[in-house]
């Protein structure tokens, strides 16, 4: 059964009423005990607020805190509740406390019991300062648990949705699907090498009626290795061309880059950058105008 807002409010009001009445009943006993241990009228009047007030604070802390902090608050509440019970019990056993006729520091006739009771009564205010400060600090530092994040939809056999890849539109433009058998394999870009050209000529030169040779795993592996090597060589050649172009542009601007800076820009070494600079300079040589000396006699 769950309570609505009105029911919870009535429950809290009932608790506050019971606590207030219990405090009023305990107030006389704690005040008389405080006078017996040497407190003046003002201190004796405030003494019950120290003991029972910390109990109320510990009760609030148990409702707010969780985990080990809540356990600590319950221990403080139990300890001060037991101490208040003992002092109220002593107040009921010693009628002299009611008329203020008892000597200072005398709460029991048996000395060991009297010493223990005086130590208990005098230590409660000091403990209230320590434990009250600690409980308030724990309450202020408490952070309620945040709501868990919504799970990201994952593509699976039982789900109709699929998770979108990052940096991709949620609904890309529809394109005609290409069957897996017709998907073109990754080939070397731009200029085909002589090995590829020779292989194509050999394929065209064969008789179309001759049976095809059986392909083996070794042939596929060799072709894949060759294709990867051609792709890597084409990529390196593009990088070299870009590096030479970058150096030529910097030289034309009057601020030629160094070999180290050129190599670092393309993730290569200084010697690689130096080779690209020399190659760029060699490419610029044929484009420079050639000056020839004229024969003055012929003129």
Tens of pLDDT, residue by residue over 176-209, are 555 554 544 544 444 444 544 444 455 454 455 5
Q: Tell me what percent of the residues of the chain surpass a pLDDT of 90.
A: 22
What pLDDT shows up at residue 267? 85
DSSP structure string for the chain = ----HHHHHHHHHHHHHHHHHHHHHHHHHHHHHHHHTT--HHHHHHHHHHHHHHHHHHHHHHHH--THHHHHHHHHHHHHHHHHHHHHHHHHH-GGGTTT-SPTT-S-SSHHHHHHHHHHHHHHHHHHHHHHHHHHHHHHH--PPPPPPPPPP---TT-S--PPPTTS-SSPPP-----GGGPPPP---SSPPHHHHHHHHHHHHS-TTSPPPPP-HHHHHHHHHHHHHHHHHHHHHHHHHHHHHHHHHHHHTT-PPPHHHHHHHTT--HHHHHHHHHHHHHHHGGGSPPP----TTT-
What pLDDT shows up at residue 79? 96
Task: Tell me the whole-structure pTM to 2 decimals.
Answer: 0.46
Pick the range with the lowest mean pLDDT from 27-36, 151-160, 229-238, 279-288.
151-160
> Is pLDDT larger for residue 176 or for residue 89?
89
Is the pLDDT reported for residue 252 higher than 60?
yes
What pLDDT shows up at residue 264? 86
Confidence band of 67 (pLDDT split at 50, 70, 90): very high
């Amino acid at each position: 059964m769950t309570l609505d807002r009105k029911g919870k409010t009535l429950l809290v009001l009932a608790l506050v009423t019971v606590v207030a009445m219990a405090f009023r009943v305990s107030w006389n006993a704690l005040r008389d005990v405080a006078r017996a241990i040497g407190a003046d009228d003002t201190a004796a009047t405030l003494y019950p607020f120290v003991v029972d007030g910390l109990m109320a604070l510990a009760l609030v802390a148990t409702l707010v805190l969780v985990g080990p902090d809540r356990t600590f608050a319950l221990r403080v509440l139990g300890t001060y509740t037991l101490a208040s019970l003992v002092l109220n019990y002593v107040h009921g056993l010693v009628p002299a406390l009611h008329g203020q006729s008892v000597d200072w520091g005398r709460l029991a006739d048996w000395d060991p019991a009297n010493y223990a009771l005086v130590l208990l009564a005098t230590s409660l205010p000091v403990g209230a300062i320590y434990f009250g400060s600690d409980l308030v600090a724990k309450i202020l530092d408490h952070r309620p648990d945040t709501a868990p994040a919504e799970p990201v939809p994952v593509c699976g056999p039982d789900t109709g949705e699929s998770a979108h890849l990052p940096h991709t539109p949620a609904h890309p433009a529809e394109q005609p699907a290409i069957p897996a058998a017709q998907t073109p394999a990754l080939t070397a870009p731009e200029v085909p090498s002589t090995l590829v050209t020779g292989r194509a000529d050999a394929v065209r030169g064969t008789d179309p009626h001759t049976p095809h040779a059986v392909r083996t795993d070794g042939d596929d592996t060799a072709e894949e290795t060759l294709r990867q090597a051609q792709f890597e060589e084409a990529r390196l050649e593009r990088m070299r061309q870009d590096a030479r172009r970058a150096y030529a542009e910097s030289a034309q601007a009057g601020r030629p880059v160094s070999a180290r800076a050129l190599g670092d820009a393309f993730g290569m070494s200084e010697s690689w950058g130096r080779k690209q600079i020399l190659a760029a300079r060699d490419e610029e040589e044929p484009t420079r105008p050639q000056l020839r000396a004229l024969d003055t006699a012929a003129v």
